[in-house]
Amino acid sequence: MHSATLSAERATPSAGDFYRTNRGGGLFSEGLSQRAGAVFAAAAYRFGVPPTALTAGNLVVGLATSAAVVALASTTAPTWIAGVVALLGWQLAYALDCADGQLARVAHRTSPAGARVDVLCDIAVQISLVTALSAVAVDQRPSTASWLVALFAGTWMVNLVTSVMQAGPNAGSMVTSTSLPVRLVKLVRDYGAVVFLAGLVLLVVPQWTIWLVVGFTVVNGCFLVASIAFTGRSALRS
């Protein structure tokens, strides 16, 4: 009996086993978010929790965090409270998002339906995040132009579209180098780093949220233009 128990324990994947199946996501995400996700995945595996439950956790935590930030932005509560909620909540949601894929791959529970619900939940969470950041920006600066908020929301969706395209058979990258300087530059499109920065701004200098909105509108807009040019050139050559 004791020997069988030891054998079962050795057969249980560790957090490191889950982490080795991660799909990257950038320097910050690999260093923090994917590692946290591996811990959640290992715990879920041990207790028999299915990957879709972790996906649902990402949805619930992400939406609740964004709703809390929006609600707090319109009250007289100290602004740092919304910052703490955003900083912790969005990181937790993303760690759960990292965990569901790791768990599915290690437990051999991947499926087209699971992949679709994962993408749909990601869309819902990111829509809520954009809504929360826009609400704080407008609350801090009521003169914020409506077109800027709309442009921010539209260009943000570039992140989701390109991430889905990267998972397909025709995936490609404009910059394939994995050198440290390149990876540092790519932090501007690392979702883990982006939501960390967003939470930090809300916590420390919420009045700068408008510049966060402007900055990511420019970054995502430029990335879209560059992606169209890069992909279009490749299509012409084929």
Which of 72-76, 182-186, 188-192 shows the highest mean pLDDT?
188-192
What is the average pLDDT across 89-115?
95
- Own/partner long-range contacts of 80-84 (Cβ < 8 Å, ≥24 apart): 80/203, 82/136, 82/202, 82/203, 82/206, 83/199, 83/200, 83/201, 83/202, 83/203, 83/204, 83/206, 84/203
Mean pLDDT taken over the chain = 89
Q: Has residue 59 got a pLDDT over 90?
A: yes
For 11-28, what is each residue's pLDDT tens digit? 789 999 999 998 878 899
Alpha helices in the chain (DSSP H): 2-11, 15-19, 27-28, 34-46, 51-73, 79-106, 112-140, 146-166, 180-185, 191-204, 209-237
For 104-154, what is each residue's pLDDT tens digit? 999 999 999 999 999 999 999 999 999 999 999 999 999 999 999 999 999
